[in-house]
Amino acid sequence: MSCPSFPGCSVAPVELPSIVGTAPREEGYLIFECPKPWPKKIKKIEGLPQDLRKCLKRFKEIDFKLIAAPSFPWPSEGTEPRALILRWKDGTTVCKEVVATPESVAAGLAEPDWGEPRELFLVCTHGSRDSCCGLKGVPIYQNLVAQGSRAVLQASHLGGHRFAPVIAAFPEWRFYGHLTPQESLEMAESLNTKKPYLKGYRGHGRLDKNLQAVEAKLWERFGNDLVSVEELSGCRDSFKVKAVLRNGAETTFSASLKYFVYNAYKSCKDFRKEKMSELKLPLVEELTECPSDEPSLTSSHQ
């Protein structure tokens, strides 16, 4: 793959204090196995992928992704096209395998039985969409496959070209970027041994941007005992959150944020055009544990 603009958008023009708060927030994913090469826009692939995308009109909270074929160790044998549905349930990702027809996918999305937990990495290698994703994603994919700790899939655009290589870790639902191949192995080892890994951490993909910044601090503090972080009350920059631990304990924190504002290229296309955008990152300025005797609050966000 050639990239005349390399190093491209993934090399930040300024030193960033963090990239937490940049993970894409989704309620779930529908993942379909499709041979590469992929066009820049997956909506241009004719046939079955488009039929599956159409059925998501009823489930707008679900995002559609492609994985390179053959790559996935499907739980059941079969020759018909298949798809995976990823959703969040009880503090972890659950996967459901379905036959890749609009009828089966729609039924799978509508069923309350959401599937079983499964460990996997998605690595964006969608080079036709953005050069940095292809050039930096492929070595990460190869390294993680060689490590062999969990299934590793080449995925279409995961969001955030400028953070390439982009990695999504499941069942944790955590996103990473700007990792070297060696750092990706360290990340995988940490997650596999249930330890926080904050380098290159973009945030938890089930939370909004500001809450991602707070969750990173609480994950660092509580480690794998942290099950969920819920916003209770407040405004955009100052709010209270509830940390729920695996043993059932709940602790309330008061959080204050500030923002790091900078200019950068959002994609390699912008890099070639020398078109910068003003961007900002949420930073936790203060995170204080609230006294246990404070009045209880009603959660406004899950």
Q: Are residues 195 and 280 in the same domain?
A: no
Q: Are residues 236 and 141 in the same domain?
A: no
Whether the predicted pLDDT of 90 surpasses 90? no
Q: Are residues 190 and 110 in the same domain?
A: yes
Residue 106: give its domain's CATH number.
Answer: 3.40.30.10
149 lies in some domain: yes
2 lies in some domain: no
258 lies in some domain: yes
* Domain edge (last residue) among 155, 174, 204: 204
Please tell me the distance from the alpha carbon of residue 227 to that of residue 191, in angstroms, as a whole number: 14
Q: Are residues 159 and 68 in the same domain?
A: yes
Q: Mean of the per-residue pLDDT values for the chain?
A: 88
14 lies in some domain: yes
Neighbours of 289 (CB within 10 A): 11
Summarize pLDDT for 186-231 with one digit per residue, the tens: 999 999 999 999 999 999 999 999 999 999 999 999 999 999 999 9
88 versus 112: the higher-pLDDT residue is 88
Whether the predicted pLDDT of 6 surpasses 60? no
Q: Are residues 61 and 80 in the same domain?
A: yes
Q: Are residues 47 and 175 in the same domain?
A: yes
Give the HSE-up count for residue 232: Cα atoms under 13 Å, Cβ half-sphere: 18
270 lies in some domain: yes
Q: State the pLDDT at residue 70.
A: 62
Q: Are residues 173 and 224 in the same domain?
A: no
Do the Cβ atoms of 254 and 287 come closer than 8 Å? yes
Q: Are residues 191 and 285 in the same domain?
A: no
Summarize pLDDT for 19-66 with one digit per residue, the tens: 999 999 999 999 988 888 898 988 788 777 788 888 888 888 899 999
Q: Are residues 48 and 194 in the same domain?
A: yes
Tokens read off for 132: 């940095």
297 lies in some domain: no
Summarize pLDDT for 126-182 with one digit per residue, the tens: 999 999 999 999 999 999 999 999 999 999 999 999 999 999 999 999 999 999 999
Whether the predicted pLDDT of 296 surpasses 90? no
Q: Are residues 118 and 223 in the same domain?
A: no
Domain that holds residue 109: 8-204
170 lies in some domain: yes
How many folded domains does the chain comprise? 2
SS3 136: helix
Q: State the pLDDT at residue 75.
A: 66
Sorted by sequence, the CB contacts under 8 Å of residue 7 that are 6+ apart come out as 132
* Domain edge (last residue) among 204, 223, 255: 204
Tokens read off for 118: 């499964």
